[in-house]
Amino acid sequence: MKLCVDLEKCKLHGQCIIAAPKLFGFRADGSLWWVETIDATQQKEADEAADVCPEQAIWIED
Amino acid sequence: MLANDVKDAPYINLDDPAFSIRSQVVRDARANSFYARTPYGLAILRYNEVGELLRHPLLRQGSYKWPAHNRAAGLFAEWWVRMLLSRIGEDHARLRRLANPAFSPKLIATLQPQFVAIANELIDAFGKKGRCEFMSEFSEPYATRVICALLNLPHERWRELATLAADMGLALGVTYKADEPVVNKATQSMFEFSRALIEERKRNTGGDFISLLVQANSTDKDALSDQEMDDMVVLAVFGGIDTTRNQIGLAMGQFIDHPDQWTLLSENPDLARGAVEEVMRTRPTTTWVTREALEDFTYNGLEIKKGTTIHLFAESAGTDPAVFKPGFDISEPRKQHFGFGGGTHHCLGHFIARGDMTEALKLLARRVRNPRYDGDPVWLPDSGNTGPVKMNIAFDPEV
């Protein structure tokens, strides 16, 4: 599965990093990195990040 | 502006009870500089800077200093420094992760029919009269009963909870010192209420927020201690009531001032979601949030010393003419406002607040036609956390 972030919508609140610290993080320059390809074992965490995003900028594609 | 010019930056006297966040002083300051001096540290006035500093890694949430700034003592102050908003780092993340599922958009969507039912029931009581005191007859019972729905509480208890929340809320007002005994007494009652509720949910565990906390606490006290559980329940009740009550009152005020927008909303209920955003952009109840510098650093030429308090002006950023076309227009696509704060401490309850205010505005616009003030409304000071105290309105009676 593909984990996607709309960087136009993303306001870098970092809620995804709190919800799913293994899948999202900030780089030293403050920009967002994330794991783009995930497997079924990571889906629950990815779902939680997508749910919690205040801007609803995260989604999962099959 | 250069770093050595801080003393020349505009000065904004936040301490003055007559100070207004929407005054010309703030508008002029914003035109001249992205920051201003205040009695406690700096104020940030423009959209881009507020957005960046809300989530700046060298700033922490600043509200934990509130008891120190106000020489506050007692139960409320003790709770305040322990609760989620005052926590940082992994400690904050652990509590936030625990609370998040209860506030997810999917879960909130299931409450939508209850929002509609509550709003209709409240409007039924005054719709044919053509007048009401909007805060006590709609805004306050609505905001409180939404919390009852979220926490699965009997709705008959709304008034008791609303009173406790309002008394606790005096802590954040300008007359705090005089109100301290009332604040602490209400906090004690709120803790008693919360502990009784927790005991009840231990016997009857369901799918609500309190039950979720009870389960986490009974599984692993390191994940959620007894104290943290009590503190979180108090926060859920207190944090959800006063803010939403005030924000809905501010919304009604905005629409009374812009009757064409009310008509537009009544004819296009799908605009209600955008209407909530437009109200919060132009008239947020939380007019600013605070941060504190964790170390010395320079931002856009401004030297910020460790320990400096920084007020991020949500209202001033939301009406920044460099970013927003002037006016109040619910059909205009706008950039995101900062009415829910931002960064790590972004409002936990924003999905429920957005959801319940959307339904409230949709139904109010349909049923409360041609609203106008019936006498002068009474407002909290136009700074800090603001909103109407009393708002008598008249409108076309329902037939």
pLDDT > 70 fraction of chain B, expressed in percent and rounded: 98
**pLDDT tens digits along B81-130:** 999 999 999 999 999 999 998 899 988 999 999 999 999 999 999 999 99
Question: What average pLDDT does the segment B164-172 reach?
Answer: 91
Task: Decide if pLDDT at B319 tops 70.
Answer: yes
Please tell me the predicted confidence (pLDDT) of residue B5.
Answer: 67
- A7, A9, A12: best mutation site toward chain B, by most B Cβ within 10 Å? A12
* Contact indicator for B367, B127 with CB cutoff of 8 Å: yes
Cβ within 8 Å, pair B342-A56: no
**pLDDT tens digits along B205-259:** 998 999 999 999 999 999 999 999 999 999 999 988 999 999 999 999 999 999 9
Min mean pLDDT across A11-15, B89-93, B159-163, B380-384 is at B380-384
Whether B51 contacts chain A with CB within 8 A? yes
> What homologous superfamily is domain B72-285+327-396 in, according to CATH?
Cytochrome P450 (1.10.630.10)
Read out DSSP for B77-146?
HHHHHHSGGG--HHHHHHHHHHHGGGG-HHHHHTTHHHHHHHHHHHHHHHTTTTEEEHIIIIIHHHHHHH
DSSP-assigned letter for residue B174: T
pLDDT > 90 fraction of chain B, expressed in percent and rounded: 88
What is the domain count for chain A? 1
Task: Decide if pLDDT at B33 tops 60.
Answer: yes
Q: What mean pLDDT is reported for chain B? A: 94
Min Cα distance A37 → chain B (Å) is 23
Cβ within 8 Å, pair B93-A30: no
SS3 per-residue string spanning B162-181: HHHHHHHHHHHCCCHHHHHH
Question: What average pLDDT does the segment A5-28 reach?
Answer: 96
Residues of A in contact with B96 (CB under 8 A): 15, 18
Burial class (CB in 10 A: 0-12, 13-18, 19+), B106: exposed
**From the list A11, A52, A56, which residue is nearest B100 (CB)?**
A52
Whether B93 contacts chain A with CB within 8 A? yes
Q: What is the spatial distance between Cα B227 and Cα B262, in angstroms, rounded to a whole number? A: 45
Instruction: Using pLDDT thresholds of 50, 70 and 90, give the confidence band for residue B276.
Output: very high
Please tell me the predicted confidence (pLDDT) of residue B1.
Answer: 46
In 3D space, the residue among B51, B69, B85 whose CA is nearest the CA of residue B243 turns out to be B85
Q: Hey, what are B279's tokens? A: 């109200």
Find tokens 């939403």 and name the residue. B244
Q: What is the spatial distance between Cα A38 and Cα B248, in angstroms, rounded to a whole number? A: 41
**pLDDT tens digits along B358-368:** 999 999 999 99
Find tokens 């955003």 and name the residue. B277
Task: Decide if pLDDT at B162 tops 80.
Answer: yes
Sorted by sequence, the CB contacts under 8 Å of residue B160 that are 6+ apart come out as: B193
Whether A14 contacts chain B with CB within 8 A? yes
Note the ipTM here.
Answer: 0.93
Cβ within 8 Å, pair A15-B336: no
Residues of B in contact with A58 (CB under 8 A): none
Residues of B in contact with A56 (CB under 8 A): 105
**pLDDT tens digits along B50-67:** 999 999 999 999 989 889
Task: Decide if pLDDT at B3 tops 50.
Answer: no
Task: Decide if pLDDT at B164 tops 80.
Answer: yes
Q: Hey, what are B351's tokens? A: 């999905």
Please tell me the predicted confidence (pLDDT) of residue B253.
Answer: 98
Please tell me the predicted confidence (pLDDT) of residue B391.
Answer: 98
With CA atoms as reference, the chain A residue closest to B341 would be A13
Please tell me the predicted confidence (pLDDT) of residue B7.
Answer: 79
Read out DSSP for B321-332?
TTTS-SS--TTS
With CA atoms as reference, the chain A residue closest to B352 would be A54
With CA atoms as reference, the chain B residue closest to A45 would be B97
Cβ within 8 Å, pair A30-B51: no
* CATH code for the domain of A57: 3.30.70.20
**pLDDT tens digits along A23-35:** 999 999 999 999 9
Q: What is the spatial distance between Cα B311 and Cα B296, in angstroms, rounded to a whole number? A: 17
Cβ within 8 Å, pair A18-B344: yes
Q: What mean pLDDT is reported for chain A? A: 96
Residues of B in contact with A13 (CB under 8 A): 55, 342-344, 346
Show me where the domains of chain B are located.
72-285+327-396
Cβ within 8 Å, pair A11-B106: no
Instruction: Using pLDDT thresholds of 50, 70 and 90, give the confidence band for residue B175.
Output: confident
In 3D space, the residue among B357, B280, B285 whose CA is nearest the CA of residue B118 turns out to be B357
Instruction: Using pLDDT thresholds of 50, 70 and 90, give the confidence band for residue B376.
Output: very high
